[in-house]
Amino acid sequence: MNKTINPKKWGITVLALIIIFVIAVGAAVYYVDPFWHFHGPTAGLSYPYVDERYMNDGIARHFDYEAIIAGTSIAENFKVSEVEELWGFTTIKQTAASATFYEQDGYVRRALSHNPDVKLVIRSLDATRLVTGPTDESYDDIPKYLYDENVFNDVRYLYNKDVIQRVTEVINYTRAGNVTKNMDEYGVWYPYATYGREEVLKGLIDYSAFTEEMIFTDEDAEAITLNIEENILKTAREHPDTEFVFFIPPYSAAYWYGMVKTKQLSYTIEAYKLAVSRLLTEGNIKVYDFSDKVDITTNLDNYMDTLHYGEWVNDEMLRWMHEGEGELTVDNYEAHLDKVKEIYENLEYDYE
């Protein structure tokens, strides 16, 4: 004898199953927590490193550290173990490819809010990021819900199809016998890079259209001043016991060749002069420049393109900074940057 299905009971059963499923999914995401939003790595699980913009805040929240490496892709190949060996501080990375000064400062500020006792911040000073707006961002889809204290928008994390996919990736990564790599490997791109003159020169273009000198205007100066003030100096003032170390990266000679050919060399040097002059107004900020290291910059085997150098150059820079080599001061920065301009103005390039 067939029993008639009670619609009310059927509806309650379906609703209960849906609720159980929703709770189970949220619980699984919370337990695995692939971006370490709620807690650090779960014991017994191994985590693959993914987009830094998703993982940075979790690292800043839940890891132990006394020093921070921040910046763009030119800082991603730094090894925290080198910082720990040289300075003696437990270190994390808060890097992100193409990050603007606003984004970089955001990562540093968040880390300092979680750990105000940080002693050292090492951060890049990219020429390509100097003349940007004080709140400019590189991407439109930055997961800002990961970076606030609003528990209500955590549902965007718990029930996000991309995050759920990351949960399965963590499980599969663990089942395959992998282990979570150390922080040296976080964000690095050097294992996948191809270096050498041929690769670098692919980035050069036809410069024949550039006939007029690029002028460093008052508007440019105002933009840099505001960018530095809002995204560096304010944070440094709020944390007087933290040392902030900035470095101008040793871009390749091919980069400087491009600046000469596009008539932007003087512009770039003037931009750096202003930025450095502003940075040196704070006693807890140090600035280093390695643009004059021509043994590095003219050897294109050190580079994958005109900007990005191999991790061995990152290692050298850490040693130089720790030893005080290449430090800019109020007394030497103008002469030093004039020297950099002279070097690349007069260098005999063989790229044509």
**Domain boundary assignment for the chain:** 52-143+183-346
Is residue 204 a contact partner of residue 253, using CB atoms and an 8 Å limit? no
Phi, then psi, of 245 in degrees rounded to 5: -115, 120
Mean pLDDT across 36-51:
95
What pLDDT is recorded for position 6? 72
**Better-predicted residue by pLDDT, 118 or 11:** 118
Percent of the chain with pLDDT over 90: 86
Is residue 156 a contact partner of residue 65, using CB atoms and an 8 Å limit? no
- Cα torsion 126, 324, 344, 339: sign: positive
Is residue 200 a contact partner of residue 305, using CB atoms and an 8 Å limit? yes
The confidence band for 2, taking pLDDT boundaries of 50, 70 and 90, is: low
What pLDDT is recorded for position 10? 73
Among candidate residues 255, 223, 231, 259, the one with its CA nearest the CA of residue 125: 231
Q: In CATH, what is the architecture of 52-143+183-346? A: 3-Layer(aba) Sandwich (3.40)
Exposure pattern of 109-141 as b/e (b: 16+ CB <10 Å)?
Answer: bbbbeebeebbbbbbbbbbebbbbebeebbeee
* Rounded Cα distance, 324 and 131, in Å: 28
Is residue 321 over pLDDT 70?
Answer: yes
Among candidate residues 280, 110, 302, the one with its CA nearest the CA of residue 197: 302
Amino acid, single-letter form, for residue 303: Y
Average pLDDT score over the chain: 95
What pLDDT is recorded for position 9? 77
DSSP assigned state of 331 = T
Stated pTM of the model: 0.93
Tokens of 40: 């650090």
What pLDDT is recorded for position 148? 82
What pLDDT is recorded for position 4? 65
Least-confidence region, from 157-161, 233-237, 245-249, 271-275: 157-161
What pLDDT is recorded for position 1? 47
Q: Are strands 243-248 and 120-124 parallel, antiparallel or unpaired?
A: parallel
320-245-189 Cα angle (round to 5): 75
Is residue 73 over pLDDT 50?
Answer: yes
Mean pLDDT across 145-153:
84
